[in-house]
Amino acid sequence: MIYLDSEGYPVNVTKDGMDSSVREGILQITQPEIWKKVKDPDNYERNGFLMRHPLQDTASNERNNTRDNMLPMIAALFARDEVAALRRVFWRVVKRGCFSQSFERDVRGSGKKLYPHKFYKDSWSTITLKHDTITVPLWKHLSPHSKIVKRWIDWADPFMPGHMAMLIRATQYKWLYPLMLPGLLWLWVSFLFMKQNSQKDTELNQLFCQCYVLGPYWLRKIKTLPDWELSFRNYWGKRKESEYADYIIEYLKKL
């Protein structure tokens, strides 16, 4: 089932929008004639920053968007030919040293650290600690299941060469196309390794969106991976949203 919130954005069964951009990307690719009448993906972009969900408080934090959420939204904008927005995103990524926007955890101000640190973690909030003292007000109210987690190092996700190749292609900056070559080689080698093992427990949503931007040749390579269909069905079936798997598999089988 495709779950929508009151504003028409794709969410999960509990109306949580932390992965709305992933769902938006898949729908814009596989159901363009239907979905473009529902929501315009440029609502997810603000001055080069991408949001997980345009309206929900935590999901709209521009410093809490992972690479796994950014890649499908880049594909969504590409599907809608939002070149200006994609170029703004590109330069933001470059200025960040080719990192994603995930410099914070769920609570605004709960920054990640490049050195050992602790933080409270539960299903609603993550609050960074400094010398075992909470540095963010507890207005989020920790649940009884909250626990302190220690990380030796934690930072935003890097955009690897294959991801940068996708982003360059999406911008349509033809003068940068030669810089895609290392990324395409990286992706080609990645496929070689992935072919060696079943992908049934691997999330392939981001790879699907990445290959969509890069072109049909790369999309066809997904069909060479062991258990590629099962991967999509397992991921979306567990979330009771099997329609997303149906859309992706149908799209790929037509190629």
Question: In the predicted model, what is the mean pLDDT of residues 48-59?
Answer: 90
Q: What is the pLDDT of residue 111?
A: 75
Q: Judge contact between 91 and 51, C-beta under 8 A.
A: no
Q: Judge contact between 10 and 24, C-beta under 8 A.
A: yes
Sheet holding 126-130, edge to edge: 133-134, 126-130, 117-121, 147-151
| pLDDT confidence tier of residue 211, bands split at 50, 70 and 90 | very high
Question: In the predicted model, what is the mean pLDDT of residues 116-134?
Answer: 50
What's the one-letter identity of residue 140? K
What is the per-residue pLDDT across 66-117, written as a single tens digit (0 to 9) for each? Answer: 999 999 999 999 999 999 999 999 999 999 999 999 888 776 667 777 777 6
| pLDDT confidence tier of residue 154, bands split at 50, 70 and 90 | confident
Q: Is the pLDDT of residue 127 over 70?
A: no
Q: What is the pLDDT of residue 123?
A: 38
Q: What is the pLDDT of residue 147?
A: 65
Of the listed ranges 51-60, 95-104, 109-118, 225-234, the least confidently predicted one is 109-118
